[in-house]
């Protein structure tokens, strides 16, 4: 769904567990090159089977291992987006400096009737979902955040986030609308696009917010901007802005962060300080300063 409406893509092939059939279909297309922006076991099998020239992104596996296991930073400071673009240098592809794109089909645009009347004039999008629990603020922290913010809030996440969203929204059923699981990905992206400000964990909707050039407060837990995955807007857009664009929110002085490349189920040290020690009052103050401008 993420790329289905992208006008620059001519054809899609989906992997649905039948790798043999996928390879046959790709072979029949008689492609000249493979551009591999995943570099995993599946993409490796496809490259070996097609036996054509390929270009593969540098995942910096060794550098990330040293960073997450020993907290020795060998990362080059080049965002994953830029490294993906660098993979295409052979074809003359260059960065236009305007950041990411995301395309929402007309049928997935959210109607105003699907948004509470209290939120139509403006709201904060609070993305509470994430791929792993250690990338998410605990419910009690989200409740504290929502109770202290003096502005309408829409909670955004998938179906698996609905119950947590329900608990968070209970702090103020009028101010906080739980949209988790009620909208598909494109519709959730549209809610992000319509928002005044996006507060998000390290998750896909954070980068969708960047594609719509929304101001972002990025809250980090087990992962970290040190992995070269912070919000990405593009150099030309940033150079043209005089006001706030984004801020990374981390607990200062944590020697154990990051402890994972992508997220894990539980804090390996048991304390989960990267989220439990987040200063909610400071986050709320930042939200109010941005929304009131």
Neighbours of 29 (CB within 10 A): 10
| SS3 state at 256 | coil
Among residues 169, 183, 249, 240, which one has the least CA distance to residue 216?
A: 249
From the CA atom positions of the chain, what is the Rg in Å?
20
What's this model's pTM, rounded to 2 decimal places?
0.95
Low-confidence stretches of the chain (pLDDT < 50) are none
Report pLDDT digits (tens) over 259-269: 999 999 999 99
Interatomic CA distance for residues 130 and 164, integer angstroms: 12
Interatomic CA distance for residues 157 and 140, integer angstroms: 17
pLDDT of residue 293: 78
CATH number for the 106-291 domain, one of 1.20.120.1770, 3.30.70.2470, 3.40.190.150, 3.40.50.2000?
Answer: 3.40.50.2000
Q: Where in the chain is the domain with CATH 3.40.50.2000?
A: 106-291
pLDDT of residue 222: 97
pLDDT of residue 61: 96
Report pLDDT digits (tens) over 249-290: 999 999 999 999 999 999 999 999 999 999 999 999 999 999
Report pLDDT digits (tens) over 68-87: 999 999 999 999 999 999 99
Q: Where are the beta strands (DSSP E) in the chain?
A: 33-36, 53-56, 124-127, 153-156, 176-178, 197-200, 216-219, 246-249
pLDDT of residue 1: 67
pLDDT of residue 16: 81
Neighbours of 290 (CB within 10 A): 17
Sheet holding 197-200, edge to edge: 176-178, 153-156, 124-127, 197-200, 216-219, 246-249
On whether the CB atoms of residues 198 and 125 are closer than 8 A, the answer is yes
């Amino acid at each position: 769904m993420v790329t289905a409406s992208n006008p620059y893509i001519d054809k899609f092939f989906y992997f649905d567990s039948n790798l043999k059939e996928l390879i046959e279909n790709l072979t029949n297309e008689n492609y000249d090159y493979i551009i591999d922006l995943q570099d995993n076991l599946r993409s490796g099998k496809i490259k070996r089977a097609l036996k054509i020239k390929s270009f593969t992104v540098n995942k910096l596996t060794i550098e990330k291992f040293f960073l997450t296991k020993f907290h020795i930073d060998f990362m080059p400071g080049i965002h994953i987006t830029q490294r993906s673009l660098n993979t295409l240098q052979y074809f003359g592809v260059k960065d236009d400096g305007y950041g990411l794109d995301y395309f929402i089909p007309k049928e997935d645009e959210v109607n105003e009737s699907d948004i509470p009347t209290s939120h139509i004039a403006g709201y904060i999008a609070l993305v509470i979902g994430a791929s792993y629990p250690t990338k998410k603020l605990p419910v009690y922290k989200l409740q504290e955040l929502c109770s202290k913010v003096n502005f309408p809030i829409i909670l955004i996440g998938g179906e698996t986030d609905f119950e947590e969203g329900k608990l968070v929204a209970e702090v103020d059923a009028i101010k906080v609308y739980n949209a988790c699981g009620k909208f598909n990905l494109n519709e959730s992206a549209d809610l992000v696009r319509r928002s005044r400000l996006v507060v998000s964990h390290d998750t896909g909707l954070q980068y969708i917010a960047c594609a719509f050039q929304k101001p972002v407060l990025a809250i980090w837990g087990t992962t970290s901007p040190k992995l070269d995955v912070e919000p990405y807007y593009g150099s030309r857009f940033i150079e043209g802005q005089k006001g706030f664009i984004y801020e990374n929110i981390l607990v200062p002085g944590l020697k154990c962060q990051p402890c994972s490349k992508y997220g894990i189920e539980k804090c390996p040290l048991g304390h989960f300080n990267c989220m439990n020690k987040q200063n909610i009052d400071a986050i709320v103050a930042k939200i109010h300063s941005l929304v009131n401008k």
